[in-house]
Amino acid sequence: MHKDIATPARTREILEKYGFSFKKSLGQNFLIDTNILRRIVDHAELTETSAVIEIGPGIGALTEQLAKRSKKVMAFEIDQRLLPILEDTLSPYENVTIVHQDILKADVQSRIDEILKGFEDIMVVANLPYYVTTPIIMKLLEEKLPIRGIVGMLQKEVADRISAKPGTKEYGSLSIAVQYYTKAETVMIVPKTVFIPQPNVDSAVIRLTLRENPAVAVKDESFFFQVTRASFAQRRKTILNNLTSQLPGGKEKKEGIQAALKKAGIEETRRGETLSIEEFGALSDALYELFK
C-alpha cells in the first residue's frame, strides 16, 4: 500500500521531487489532512456507481479519495505544470481522467457527454481556487448541468453569504442566486492548518443540492435576478429607493413600481435583505410588464 497523497510528509516529498512552486494567482492551497478529505467526500454521499467532477486537482490529494469512493472522476486542472505530477501520483487509479482546461472556459456539458457518458449520478466535489469561487459555482448552476449537487471548500465568508437566510447581514443577491437553484448548507468549518500554504482567510465546506425545480417559478429568470441585484444595490436604502434608482428608467416609473410592490404584498419601506426568495419572485413578476 502506498501512503496517501494528503499527508504533510508525502506532499512535501512530491513537491520537492518536481521542484513545484505554488502560484498564488491560481489559488493553490493544497490539502494535507486525509481526515478532512474523507469528511468532505462523506458529504458528497457517493456510491460505487457515482461519477465525480473535480475542479483543480492540484497534486491529487482530493482526487485520490474520490477515486477510491466513486466509479469515475473527471478533474479540470488549469496549471500545465501539475499534469506530469498527477500522472505520477494518481497512477494507481485507473478511473481518473484529467482535463487540462480552465473550468470557466470549458464546455462542461460536452466533457460530461464524452467522459461521463451513461452516469446517472454526478456530483461536483472540489477544494475550489478562492479567486474564482463565485464564478465557478454560478457557471455550474446556470449551465443547468446534469449534476446532483456540489460539495465545495471555499472561503468561509462566501459560504456564509451563499447559505444566508433573509434578515441576516450576509443575505444578498448571491444567496438568492444560489438558493434559487439549490438547497444550500454549510457543513464544515475548516482550520487554516490543513492547507499548504495556509490561506489568509478562514475556510468552510458547503453542500449545494440541486432542486428539481427552482425555488420559485418566475416569468423571466434573468429579470428576476436583475430585480434581486437592484434591490441590494445599496443595503441601507429601502426596496422602493433601490428599484427606482437601479432599474432602467426606474425614476420615471416610480408609481408603477409602487403599484407592483403593493400587488406583491411588500411594504415599500422594507429593505431588500428582509425579502424571501418567494417575495422576490412575486415582485419580479409584478414588475415584469412595466419593464419588458
User: Is residue 201 part of the contact set for ligand SAM (CB under 6 A)?
Assistant: no
User: Is residue 87 part of the contact set for ligand SAM (CB under 6 A)?
Assistant: no
Strands 203-210 and 122-127: unpaired
Among 31, 137, 140, 154, the residue binding ligand SAM under the rule CB under 6 A is 31
Quote the CA–CA distance of 246 and 262 in Å, as a whole number.
19
Query: What are the grid coordinates assigned to 113, written together?
Result: 457527454
Quickly list H helices, the chain.
8-18, 34-44, 61-69, 83-89, 108-115, 133-142, 156-162, 173-181, 221-231, 239-246, 254-263, 277-291
Taking a C-beta distance cutoff of 8 angstroms, is the pair 248, 287 a contact? no
State the number of binding residues for ligand SAM (CB under 6 A).
23
35 labelled ligand-binding:
no
Among 10, 14, 20, 29, the residue binding ligand SAM under the rule CB under 6 A is 29
Q: Output the smallest distance, CB 184 to ligand SAM, in A.
A: 20
Choose the stretch contacting ligand SAM; rule: CB under 6 A; options: 71-79, 163-171, 251-259, 280-288: 71-79
Taking a C-beta distance cutoff of 8 angstroms, is the pair 254, 246 a contact? no
29 labelled ligand-binding:
yes
Among 10, 14, 20, 27, the residue binding ligand SAM under the rule CB under 6 A is 27
Q: Output the smallest distance, CB 287 to ligand SAM, in A.
A: 36
User: Is residue 61 part of the contact set for ligand SAM (CB under 6 A)?
Assistant: yes
Name residues contacting ligand SAM, limited to 101-120 (CB under 6 A): 102-104
Looking at the Cβ atoms of 154 and 240, the one nearer to ligand SAM is 154
Q: Output the smallest distance, CB 103 to ligand SAM, in A.
A: 4
* Residue bearing cell 498527477: 86
Mapped onto helix, strand or coil, the DSSP state of residue 216 is coil
- Residues making up the chain, counted from first to last: 292
Among 67, 69, 76, 241, the residue binding ligand SAM under the rule CB under 6 A is 76
Among 14, 132, 184, 239, the residue binding ligand SAM under the rule CB under 6 A is 132
Q: Which amino acid is at 23?
A: K
Q: Which amino acid is at 192?
A: K
Among 34, 52, 69, 77, the residue binding ligand SAM under the rule CB under 6 A is 77
Residue 220 zone, left/alpha/beta (φ > 0; ψ -120 to 50; rest): beta
Nearest to 62 by CA among 48, 76, 79, 49: 76
Q: How far is CA 120 from CA 55, 110, 136, 138, in A?
A: 20, 16, 22, 22
User: Is residue 152 part of the contact set for ligand SAM (CB under 6 A)?
Assistant: no
200 labelled ligand-binding:
no
- Binding residues (CB under 6 A) for ligand SAM: these are 26-31, 55-58, 61-62, 76-79, 82, 102-104, 127, 129, 132
Which residues are known binding-site members for S-adenosyl-L-methionine? 29, 31, 56, 77, 102, 127
